[in-house]
Amino acid sequence: MQKKVGREYRIPFEISADPFYSERNLRYLESVMQDVKDGKAHFAEHDLIEVD
């Protein structure tokens, strides 16, 4: 890996912005919040699932 970094003068993987803060996701979250405020969102209680 060190040889590749030295040869290519870059890290061997791509770095991208966090998709959580993308315009598309922010619009989606705003629409979900509006559904909650308007009473359109349906919530159901459920048991937690244990993962071993």
Q: What is the pLDDT of residues 12-50, one digit of tens each?
A: 788 888 889 999 999 999 999 999 999 999 889 999 999
Three-state DSSP at 31 gives: helix
Tell me, yes or no, whether 48 lies in a domain: no
Domain extent, residue 22, equals 14-41
CB 19 within 8 A of CB 25: yes
Write the CB contacts of 25 (distance below 8 Å, at least 6 apart in sequence).
19
The model carries a pTM of 0.53
Tell me, yes or no, whether 22 lies in a domain: yes
Tell me, yes or no, whether 49 lies in a domain: no
Q: How many domains does the chain have?
A: 1
Q: Which residue has the tokens 């998709």?
A: 19
Position 40 scores a pLDDT of 96
Tell me, yes or no, whether 47 lies in a domain: no
| pLDDT confidence tier of residue 6, bands split at 50, 70 and 90 | low
